[in-house]
Structure 1
Amino acid sequence: MAFLLPRLERADIVYKTLNETPFPTAVLVPKTINPKKACPLLVHFHGGGLYTGTNLEPAFLPLELAEAENAIMVSPTYRLLPEATGLNILDDLKDFWEWVRKSLPAYVAEKWPGLTIDLDRTAVFGESAGGYLSLQSAFLFPSVHIKVIMAQYCAIYPDIAAWNPQPAEVPSAADEFINAYIAQIKPGTIRLSSPYPALGDLGQAVKQTGRHRQWLGDNERLTLDYGLRTAEKLPPIWIMQGLDDRIMPKEATDELVARIREAHPETELLYSVQPGDHGFDSPHGLDEPYIAEGIELVRKYWP
C-alpha cells in the first residue's frame, strides 16, 4: 500500500461530530484522474473485527482499483468495540452515508476545482469487519444505490455459528484479560482508531472466549437474517475467502454465501476461495487471475 499512496492526493474531513469527538474520513483522488468526466465513488471500510484497525488499513486493492477506474475513494473511521456497541457502529454507518449524499460532492468540487463526483456510480469494498459493513450498507441503506459490493472474509454476523463460537470451556486468563480491559474504559469513551497490530492480545482473548456477540449486542439489525429479510434487492457481490483462514473460518463464509444465494437467488454473486490465511490477498494486484475474474464482474456494473 505504501507505494500506492504517493500516487493519490489525500485530504481528511470530518463527517460527523459526537460528544465533541470528530469522526474523520479520508478522501483520496488519483493524481492521474481525468477531470473531464464525472468520477465514480469507491468507498472502503477497514477491517479489524470491529474492535481494532484504522481507515485505509489495509487497502491495497481499492487504492489500485480507484486509480485504474478514475474513481474518488473515501475511507471513513467508525466507533470500535467494546467502547461502542454494534448499534453505535450502524449509527456511524448511517451518518457516513448521509454525509456522502449531502456533502461529499460539494467538498470534492471545492477541494479539487473542476472535479465532479457521480454518486449514482458507487461501489463498496471492505476486508473482514469492513466487508461486513459493506454488506450492511447494501442491506440497511438501499437509498445509497450501491452498484457492486466487494467483501473479503466478511462473515462476522452474530447469527453465523462458525464465527467466534462460544467454546465449551472458556480460558479464565482470557476472560479476566477482557474484564480488566472493559473495567478501565471511562464512560463516554469514543475510540475510532487502533492501527494494526494494536490490541492483538485483546483480539486473541475474544477469539478464545467467544465474546464478540456480547460486545455487538443482540439487536436484530446486526444479523444476516434481518438484512436478507428486509432488503428487497441486492447489488452484485464479490466475496473473497482464504481456504486456511484461522480468524474467519471458511465454514462461516460458506454459510454466508449460501444464505445470500437462497434468500436472493437473482443476485449475481461470485465466491472466490484461495489458499491462505486471513489477509491472504494483501500482496495480490489486479492482474492476479482470481482478482481479474472478480474485477470482470465489478466492471459489468461499475464504474
Structure 2
Amino acid sequence: MDAEIYSPFSITTTPYKTVNSQPIPLYVLLPKNLPAGPAPILIHIHGGFLFAGNALYPDWSTSWSRRYNLEHNAIRISANYRLAPEATGLEILSDIRDLLTWVENDLSGYLKSIGSQVTPDVGKVLVYGESAGGYLAIQAGLMRPDLVKAVIASYPMTYIDSPWYAEPGDKHPFGIPTLDKKEILDKYLASMDRGKIVTESDPYARLPLAIAALQNGLFPDILGRGDEVYPARVLAKMSGTEKVPFLFAMHGTEDSAVPVEETRKFTQAWEEKFGKGSVVAEFKEGEHGFDGQVEYEAPWLQNGLNGVTKAWIR
C-alpha cells in the first residue's frame, strides 16, 4: 500500500466477507482530489493464474488503468479472493459475486463510516482485470449484467478447459522450464490444510504451483468441471437477447502464458452472440502483461476505452 504509484489515492481496507473465520479484504482507493457527491466505481481484480497475487501488487498495476481511473474520478475497489488450489473455481466465483454484492449494498455505508463525503454511483460500475483477473472480470459481467456496465479484460483466461489448461504438454510461460510436479504440486497438495484459505501471496512464491498445474493439464481437476466455471460455456448457453456489459479485451500476440487465439475466439463468439458494438478486441505485439508499457494516448487503447466510457459513465 505504500507504493509510490498509489500516491494519488487515499487507501483504506475492510473485509467484504469471512470464510472459516478468516476475513477476505478489499481496498478502497479514493483519488485524493475526488469531490464530494456521486462517483463511478471501478472494480479491479488481480491476476496470477488464480493461484497467486494480491490486490495491490504494484508491478501488476498498469499506469494506463490508474490514469483512466483518475481521469474519471472513480472510486477504485481492489479486492483479494480465495486462491487455488485451496479454493475451487466455484468458491472463487462466489467471492466475486459477494464482492459485487458488497459494492452494491455496503460501499456507501463504508464510505460514510470513514468520514468520506463521496457517494458511490452503483449505476456506473466497471470491472477490470488482467489474466486470471480478466477471466474473473468477464465472469463478473456475465453473472451480474444488471450491475456491471462494462468489462475490461486484459489477456484474459477464457477457455480453461482447452488443451492448454486441461492436457499435459510442453508449455513454458515466460520461458520457465518444465517443473517437477511431484516435488512442487503433489507435495504441496499432500500437506495442504483443507480448512485454511489463502487470499493473497507474493506472486512469485506460488507461481510454480500454477505452472506445474498448467504443464500437467490439471486446471479442470483443481478448479472443477461445472459449466459455471467456464465463461465460454456460460456464453454458449445464452440466447443473445440478454443484456450484457460492453467488453473491451486486449491481448499481446506473443503471449507465452495465456493463448492469444483463445481471446480472439472468445471475443468473436461474444460479438456473434450480442452483435457488433458489444465488444472491442485489440491484439498488439507483446508478451503477457504487454500493456504495462503502453502509452495512455495510444489510439488503439483509446478506441477501446471510449467504448468502455460510453457504456460505463455516459
Return the TM-score normalized by structure 2: 0.89
What residue number does 1:56 align with? 56
Letter in 2 for 1:158: I
Secondary structure at 1:258 match in 2: helix
Among candidates 239, 242, 245, match of residue 255 of structure 2 = 245
* Displacement of 1:292: 1.8
Letter in 1 for 2:290: F
What residue number does 1:114 align with? 117
2:153 aligned with 1:143: no
Bigger shift: residues 276-285 or 221-230: 221-230
Q: For the Cα contact (< 8 Å) 2:141–2:150, is it kept in 1?
A: no
Secondary structure at 2:116 match in 1: coil
For these two proteins, the number of residue pairs brought into alignment is: 300
Pairing of 1:190-205 with structure 2 (within 5 A): 190-205=197-212
Residues 94, 151 of structure 1: CA spacing in aligned structure 2 closer, same or farther, 3 A cutoff?
same
Q: For the Cα contact (< 8 Å) 2:232–2:266, is it kept in 1?
A: no
Q: Distance in 2 between matches of 1:168 and 1:245?
A: 17
**Root-mean-square deviation (Å):** 2.1
Letter in 2 for 1:202: L
Pairing of 1:124-139 with structure 2 (within 5 A): 124-139=127-142
Among candidates 165, 173, 184, match of residue 177 of structure 1 = 184
2:30 aligned with 1:29: yes
Secondary structure at 2:30 match in 1: strand
* Displacement of 1:281: 0.6
Q: For the Cα contact (< 8 Å) 1:39–1:72, is it kept in 2?
A: yes
Q: Distance in 2 between matches of 1:113 and 1:165?
A: 47
2:155 aligned with 1:153: yes
2:84 aligned with 1:81: yes
Q: Distance in 2 between matches of 1:123 and 1:24?
A: 19
Residues 169, 245 of structure 1: CA spacing in aligned structure 2 closer, same or farther, 3 A cutoff?
closer
Q: For the Cα contact (< 8 Å) 1:148–1:301, is it kept in 2?
A: yes
Q: Distance in 2 between matches of 1:47 and 1:137?
A: 14
Give 5+ residue unaligned stretches, structure 2: 172-177
Q: Distance in 2 between matches of 1:8 and 1:268?
A: 32
Bigger shift: residues 205-214 or 164-173: 164-173
What residue number does 1:46 align with? 46
* Displacement of 1:153: 0.9
Secondary structure at 1:203 match in 2: helix
Q: Distance in 2 between matches of 1:182 and 1:265?
A: 44
Q: For the Cα contact (< 8 Å) 1:241–1:253, is it kept in 2?
A: yes
Q: Deviations over 1:48-107 (max 9, x none)?
A: 111111113322233222211010000111100001100111111121111111110111
Letter in 1 for 2:214: K
Q: Deviations over 1:191-243 (max 9, x none)?
A: 00012222232232122111112111011111224421247221111001000
* Displacement of 1:256: 1.3
Q: Distance in 2 between matches of 1:153 and 1:189?
A: 30
Q: For the Cα contact (< 8 Å) 1:139–1:230, is it kept in 2?
A: no
Bigger shift: residues 263-272 or 24-33: 263-272
Bigger shift: residues 218-227 or 184-193: 218-227
2:88 aligned with 1:92: no
Pairing of 1:8-27 with structure 2 (within 5 A): 8-27=9-28
Bigger shift: residues 217-226 or 78-87: 217-226
Residues 73, 172 of structure 1: CA spacing in aligned structure 2 closer, same or farther, 3 A cutoff?
closer
What residue number does 1:223 align with? 230
Q: Distance in 2 between matches of 1:75 and 1:177?
A: 30
Q: Deviations over 1:223-282 (max 9, x none)?
A: 224421247221111001000000011112122112212222255211111111100111
Letter in 1 for 2:298: E
Q: Distance in 2 between matches of 1:128 and 1:23?
A: 21
2:244 aligned with 1:234: yes
Q: Distance in 1 between matches of 2:51 and 2:28?
A: 23
Q: Distance in 2 between matches of 1:290 and 1:96?
A: 31
* Displacement of 1:165: 4.3
What residue number does 2:294 align with? 284
Residues 3, 179 of structure 1: CA spacing in aligned structure 2 closer, same or farther, 3 A cutoff?
same
Q: For the Cα contact (< 8 Å) 1:156–1:163, is it kept in 2?
A: no
Letter in 1 for 2:74: A
Residues 225, 292 of structure 1: CA spacing in aligned structure 2 closer, same or farther, 3 A cutoff?
closer
What residue number does 1:257 align with? 267
Q: For the Cα contact (< 8 Å) 1:155–1:248, is it kept in 2?
A: yes
